[in-house]
Amino acid sequence: MKLPVFVVDAFTAKAFRGNPAAVCLLENKLDEDMHQKIAREMNLSETAFIRKLHPTDNFTQKNVNNTLTFVTLSGELKARRAENSIILDLPLYPAHPQDFHEVEDLIKTAIGDTLVQDICYSPGTRKLLVRLSDTYKRSFLENLKVNTEDLPQVENTGKVKGLILTLKGEPGGQTQAFDFYSRYFAPWVGVAEDPVTGSAHAVLSSYWSQQLGKKDMHAFQCSHRGGELEISLRPDGRVDIRGSTAVVLEGTLTA
């Protein structure tokens, strides 16, 4: 078996930044076990498999349909091209105020005595959003040491599956202006820190839109790889998350 495979860095125009993902092109359907083996071999945050719908389809021909639909554990995810960017079409997940004392141990374990301004919880995604004090700057969030190793033991009820740390953006000066910053951690599912994630921004978009009174926002995820996201809330209760991409590897997977 030989499969064309690509490694693509998403939410960045430069290689070795953003969120790395593998993309495999399938002539025929594979069983789930083979999907998992390939994903483990690629060892990246995500591995996407694109399969022909009809035998006469051809990967080498120009795709006249600029939208791809992916079947994921969270439902259908649609991605479409727009000039030199990719737009993800995601559901918008609301986040509700969360009592601090119910999650105090989790927060203290993760970030110690770091000042917290607001806490919200998204039941639809089981993500806990923690907004740090507005007194902090971007550099503080970037350099913050987060203890993720102990979180699954501290929070083992199943309520929380992801921790979002976020910070209000700063006015533009010598650096580019962003509406908000974030980092995302999911040790409950084996991801210590996700470099850049669209799913967390489906929660962040809802929260910061209410806080800032804006539908269109510019965000930056402050992982070690970093990533820029352009966000637009839609009237139908969904959100468009736009970012650049860089193809860093093309090859053939043999098995």
| CATH no., domain 96-236 | 3.10.310.10
pLDDT of residue 76: 77
Output the 3-class SS for the chain. CEEEEEEEEECCCCCCCCEEEEEEEECCCCCHHHHHHHHHHHCCCEEEEEECCCCCCCCCCCCCCCEEEEEECCEEEEEEEECCEEEEEEECCCCEECCHHHHHHHHHHHHCCCCEEEEEEECCCCEEEEEECCCCCHHHHHHCCCCCCCHHHHCCCCCCCEEEEEEECCCCCCCCCCCEEEEEEEHHHCEEEECCCHHHHHHHHHHHHHHHCCCEEEEEECCCCCEEEEEEECCCCEEEEEEEEEEEEEEEEEC
- Looking at residue 68, what is its pLDDT? 81
pLDDT tens-digit map of 111-144: 999 999 999 999 999 999 999 999 999 999 999 9
Question: Above 60 in pLDDT, residue 80?
Answer: yes
**Tens digit of pLDDT for each residue in 18-64?**
999 999 999 888 999 999 999 999 999 889 998 877 778 777 776 66
Return the domain boundaries, the chain: 2-91+244-254, 96-236
Residue 79: is its pLDDT beyond 80? yes
193 is catalytic: no
Matching fold, domains 2-91+244-254 and 96-236: yes
Q: What is the pTM of this model?
A: 0.90
List 32, 46, 83, 155, catalytic entry:
46
| Higher per-residue pLDDT: 251 or 63 | 251
Q: At residue 189, does pLDDT exceed 70?
A: yes
What CATH class does 2-91+244-254 carry? alpha beta
For position 63, what pLDDT does the model report?
A: 67
